[in-house]
Amino acid sequence: MKSFFPFLFTTTLAVLPVCVEAISTAGLSDASIGKSTGGNSICASGYITIPISVNGTTLNYTPPKKTAAEIESMIEMYQITNSLSSTAPNGTHLIEGEFKIYTKLCIPSSSAKAASIKTVQLLTHGATLDHTYWDISTGHSYIDAATEAGYATLSYDQLGVGNSDHPDPIQTVQATSQVAVTHALAQLLHDSKIGNYKFENVVGVGHSAGSTLVQAITTEYPSDFDAVILTGTSTNEDYVALSMVAFNLINANTDTSGRFDDLQAGYLTQQTAAGIQFAFYRWPNFDTTAFQSQVANKQTNTVGVLLTLGGVLAEAPDFTGPLDVVLGENDFVFCGGNCTYPENQAALVESTFYPNAASGSQYYLAAGSGHAIAAHDSAGDSFDQMISFLQSNDIY
């Protein structure tokens, strides 16, 4: 896979001094400045136009418009034989274009900490989530935990999600195009083209499907990240299909909220709150306000990503940095509800995918947590472990 990104930024705003009230917006268009949702970080939000050119999978699939037919597609996607993942691929094609990606750069509210930033964490959300997963509320904001420890963060909406562009959901929004976007953002951070900060380290942090994208980066571009933190993932895929079925995915443009009316068929979202709870939450160990917020602000996934995501997951022998794996103790998606059975599932990721990871690698099970680690009562402990992991590997 190759990507080409002669980055073009438009309407770049003037660079402001770093202080509690201001942050550099260099590299962002249509930028705005404000506080994190958690309230303890200063953030610049805006768009980056990313040209990509990558090989994609030509999918012999036309998304049905009727809900009953779309549900049948979901059955065919996960049925035991002749599933769509085996029948739909029909060669390759070039995914090419320029796409606006919504990003949010956050730094410490402390001027002293902001002036001494050395490391930025690139945060990649999971499926049907968006950049807000990393900054849910006070006490459930990984962004605030990271900036309090002296790090910068860059969260973003993946292609086809939230405020980012929504191109063809079958032939364009696929796993390889998502990897290309993530790789491009990592390169921009290395090259100090976002916010004009001179970062010494870039850490890749993913959640769920976002962890799969981070893993793909470590395979294809192992020098992009100095360390990686994978959350909400394991080597066990036995319960992924059941979780996806529980979502009861429908064409997003048929959702009763009306939020996705303008999207093409092939953009999917969950039909019910019950489906979201089934896959993402462990009762009663989660913040009900966070859950209600996710239901109200649920996002999209595409058929293109669903049919191609598995194809980017591979061993990453050339990645030699430290690895941290954080998994909810009761994650249903990747453990069937018990991540200690038949052995610690977080512990298996390194031996399976990272044979040459640094000796400082770690793993952690979040007590009582389901899949949405950041929304559970143990979120603070999980955030502390993630920060401690970086510090123990001298990444400040």
Per-residue CA distances from 64 to 28, 69, 190, 196, 288 (Å) = 37, 6, 42, 46, 34
- pLDDT (0 to 100) of residue 20: 40
For residue 353, the number of C-alpha atoms closer than 13 Å in the C-beta half-sphere is 29
Tell which CATH architecture fits domain 29-392: 3-Layer(aba) Sandwich (3.40)
Asked which of 11-15, 44-48, 352-356, 365-369 is least confident by mean pLDDT, the reply is 11-15
Residues 6+ apart with CB under 8 A from 257: none
Secondary structure element (H or E) that encloses residue 387, with its range: helix 379-392
List, in sequence order, every beta strand (DSSP E) within the chain.
29-35, 41-59, 89-108, 119-124, 152-156, 201-207, 227-231, 249-251, 267-270, 301-302, 323-328, 362-366
> Rounded mean pLDDT of 280-289?
97
Q: Is the peptide bond before 108 cis (omega within 30 degrees of 0)?
A: no
Over residues 88-98, mean pLDDT: 98
pLDDT band for position 23 (50/70/90)?
A: very high
How many whole angstroms separate alpha carbon 305 and alpha carbon 120? 27
Task: With beta carbons less than 8 A apart as the criterion, state whether 381 and 368 touch.
Answer: no
Q: 157-202, pLDDT tens digit by residue?
A: 999 999 999 999 999 999 999 999 999 999 999 999 999 899 999 9
Residue recorded with tokens 């009582």: 368
Between helices 209-220 and 175-190, what is the axis angle to 10°?
70
- Residue 2's pLDDT is 36
pLDDT of 9 > 80? The answer is no
Q: How far apart are CA 163 and CA 101, in angstroms?
A: 7
The predicted model gives 79-91 an average pLDDT of 96
Q: What DSSP line would sit under 238-260, residue for residue?
A: TTHHHHHHHHTEEEGGG-TT-TT
Q: Cα 209 from chain centroid?
A: 6
257-278, pLDDT tens digit by residue? 999 999 999 999 999 999 999 9
Query: In degrees, to the nearest 5, what angle opens at C-alpha 344 toward C-alphas 343 and 349?
Result: 115
Residue 82 φ/ψ region, left for φ over 0, alpha for ψ in the -120 to 50 degree band, beta for the rest: left
Residue 285 and residue 367: Cα distance in Å, rounded? Answer: 9
List pLDDT tens digits, range 36-79: 999 999 999 999 999 999 999 999 999 999 989 999 999 999 99
Q: Is the pLDDT reported for residue 124 higher than 90?
A: yes
Tens-place pLDDT, residues 134-148: 999 999 999 999 999
Predicted local distance difference test score (pLDDT) of residue 163: 98
pLDDT computed for residue 196 by the predictor: 87
- Which residues lie below 8 Å from residue 117, measured CB to CB, with a gap of 6+? 107, 108, 150, 151, 152, 197, 199
In angstroms, rounded to a whole number, what is the distance separating the alpha carbons of residues 271 and 67? 11
pLDDT greater than 60 at residue 255: yes
- Peptide bond before residue 284 is cis, with ω within 30 degrees of 0: yes
pLDDT of 352 reads 98
The distance from CA 116 to its chain's CA centroid, rounded to whole angstroms, is 27
What is the per-residue pLDDT for 22?
64
Query: pLDDT at residue 6 above 80?
Result: no
Q: Is the pLDDT of residue 17 over 50?
A: no
pLDDT for 21: 47
At residue 7, does pLDDT exceed 50?
A: no
pLDDT of residue 5: 32
